[in-house]
Amino acid sequence: MCTGACAKVIAIPLYILALLSIICNIVLFFPDLQTKYAAEDRDGKPRITEEVKYMGGVIGGGIMVLIPAIHIHLTSSGKCCANRCGMFLSIGFAAAGVVGAIYSLSTAALGLSNGPLCYWSNQKNPVPRWGVPFANSTGSYLTDKDMWKWCKLPEDVVEFNVGLFSTLLAAASLELILCLIQMINGLFGCICGTCTGKEQ
């Protein structure tokens, strides 16, 4: 497969993964699919998981991957960027995508490790309060579904956070792999050309 065609194969999944990351991050702002938790409480802070505010899916897995995806796609289109110079530039754009994917992956992993912010109580702490009950569990709550019952509000917030942060984690991992492949593909394209006939 020539480097130009390979770039197209890489760009199209990057579009999908970037869009998926943005959507997941936006949905995370609305646990239980309600807007009231994103509104400020008496302390002036929204009652949403802290890692959601880092915008890993929007900034890292979204914008920082979407821009490289556009350039990578242009290197395969036979137009202005389908040349050795365009392939060389795609290495830098793919590197930016790698940084974005790592940021998204890190925030998603941190969100999974710490767990959600919720109104919770358990046998040791019978008085319900807002907090992050799984922050010191080092992720062990993920395999112990009995602990999920600690969170009373928002309803099903643990399943909500685990599902969306896991999706972000998977998307960021795939973005990272694809951007790394494009860095290698861009190097070969810079040396050997794109097979489009525009090799200047």
Over residues 175-192, the pLDDT tens digits come to: 999 999 988 888 877 776
**H helices, E strands: number in the chain:** 4, 3
The confidence band for 98, taking pLDDT boundaries of 50, 70 and 90, is: very high
Residue 120 forms beta bridges with which residues? Answer: 129, 151
Question: Does the pLDDT value for residue 147 go beyond 70?
Answer: yes
Q: For residue 13, give both structure tokens.
A: 């999944």
Q: How many CB atoms lie within 10 A of CB 109?
A: 17
Phi first, then psi, for residue 120 (nearest 5°) are -135, 165
Q: Give the residue-averaged pLDDT of 159-181.
A: 95
Question: Does the pLDDT value for residue 57 go beyond 80?
Answer: yes
Tell me, what's the pLDDT at 136? 84
Q: Decide if 21 contacts 61 (C-beta within 8 A).
A: yes
> What does the domain layout of the chain look like in residue ranges?
3-192
Nearest of 56, 97, 104 to residue 186 by alpha carbon: 97
Q: How many CB atoms lie within 10 A of CB 146?
A: 8
Tell me, what's the pLDDT at 200? 44
- For residue 13, say if its preceding peptide bond is cis, omega within 30 degrees of 0: no
Q: Decide if 21 contacts 105 (C-beta within 8 A).
A: no
Nearest of 158, 74, 61, 156 to residue 112 by alpha carbon: 158
Strand pairing category for 118-120 and 129-131: antiparallel
The confidence band for 199, taking pLDDT boundaries of 50, 70 and 90, is: very low
Mean pLDDT lowest for which of 139-143, 153-157, 165-169? Answer: 139-143
Percent of the chain beyond pLDDT 90?
46
Please tell me whether residue 51 adopts helix, strand or coil conformation.
helix
Q: Determine the Cα–Cα distance for residues 77 and 91; give it in Å rounded to an integer.
A: 17
Q: What is the pTM of this model?
A: 0.86
pLDDT, tens only, 16-42 = 999 999 999 999 999 988 888 887 665
Please tell me whether residue 79 adopts helix, strand or coil conformation.
coil
